[in-house]
Amino acid sequence: MADVTILIPSYNHAPFIERTLRSVFAQTLPPKKLIVIDDGSKDESIKIIGKVLADCPFDFEFIKRENRGLCATLNEGLTRTATPYFAYISSDDVWLPRFLESRIEILENRPNAVLSYGYAHLIDEDDRIIDSNQNWGEYADGNALSMLLHPIIPASAAVVYRKNVLERCHWTEGIVLEDYDLYLRLSVLGEFALDNEILSAWRIHDYNTSKDFPLMMNEWLAAIERNAEVIGLDKENLEQVLQKIKFRCVADYNRNGNKKEAWKMFRENLGGAESITEIGKNLARLVIPRKLFLWNRERKDQKAKENNGKLELKD
């Protein structure tokens, strides 16, 4: 049994919560304790959780209360933790059996690491693997600030934290991208220890915040501005970082149907381009019809589903 407490913050994920719970039950290195906090679900989540927890093979606590938001739920789970390590998994995501075993072994061998993490599969509502965030950018092993300012952001389901460091930061309530804000502050306190084995799955469906790309980008920028002093960015460097992010986001705006805004961002943030090649690629994306983007995305998603099949929770 590992010296780790697991939190599942539950909110309106009745179709997926049993899968999440059983992926925690199936860990080769079981946690010392599981905490499930239902944050005011309006669906059948509470009923399903109560039934499935009857099969839990280790100590657990089930808390049902009114809605307070994800950050308040995460902070509550952390205050109830009495182990050296802490991890949480959203009530729609999944861990593979060796997740805890591998991540905690890394932390045991990396005393300067504030967390251990890795890449994640992306799965749909039917557990079919549609992608891996390994294809989105390279994770850092050690100093993670440059990676985060790109921004390349780890999926929450792929992380195990060192509790005594996490307690110095907590999650900031009242914001949308709670993990990105936290990662920025943690990056100045120690290393991010990379595990190259993919041992978690992030479920993509219609209710993900990541579906709203303009919101995502604005939250990235706000988090960096909010933490600029903490991460050592003066006014000039801050403006450079923000401009580079906006220029990189041109393609995403265009891909999501915001072509007018994409052209505006392209013109206003040319100074954020790192090369002529990057300018050329963004320009090419802007002139290609969106229908072609959508067709190509659907083609790639379908091919990935056919090639990768369903996620199997086997060791």
Tell me: the pLDDT tens digits for 265-275? Answer: 999 999 999 99
Residue 18: CATH number of its domain: 3.90.550.10
In a domain, 217, yes or no: no
Q: Where are the beta strands (DSSP E) in the chain?
A: 2-10, 31-39, 59-65, 85-88, 94-95, 113-118, 121-123, 129-132, 159-162, 191-195, 200-203
Would you call 169 helix, strand, or coil by DSSP?
coil
CB within 8 Å of 76: residues ≥ 6 apart: 37, 63, 68
Residue closest to 152 by CA, chosen among 117, 111, 100: 117
Residue closest to 86 by CA, chosen among 196, 170, 172, 187: 170
Q: What single-letter amino acid sits at 265?
A: M
182 and 69 both lie in a single domain: yes
pLDDT reading at 66 higher than 80: yes
Residue closest to 75 by CA, chosen among 10, 171, 152, 207: 171
Domain count, the chain: 2
Q: By residue range, what is the domain housing residue 162?
A: 2-210
59 and 96 both lie in a single domain: yes
Which of the listed residues 194, 210, 226 is the one where a domain comes to its end? 210
In a domain, 229, yes or no: no
Q: Using one digit for the tens of pLDDT, what is the confidence trace for 164-216?
A: 999 999 999 999 889 999 999 999 999 999 999 999 999 998 655 556 888 88
Would you call 96 helix, strand, or coil by DSSP?
coil
What pLDDT score was predicted for residue 210?
A: 54
89 and 182 both lie in a single domain: yes
Q: Using one digit for the tens of pLDDT, what is the confidence trace for 142-154?
A: 999 999 999 999 9
Would you call 205 helix, strand, or coil by DSSP?
coil
Q: Residue 169 in contact with residue 238, Cβ under 8 Å?
A: no
Mean pLDDT in residue range 3-19: 97
Give backbone dihedrals phi and psi of 39, rounded to 5 degrees, phi first. Answer: -95, 55
pLDDT band, very low/low/confident/very high, at 295 (cuts 50, 70, 90)? confident
Which of the listed residues 150, 176, 210 is the one where a domain comes to its end? 210
pLDDT band, very low/low/confident/very high, at 29 (cuts 50, 70, 90)? very high
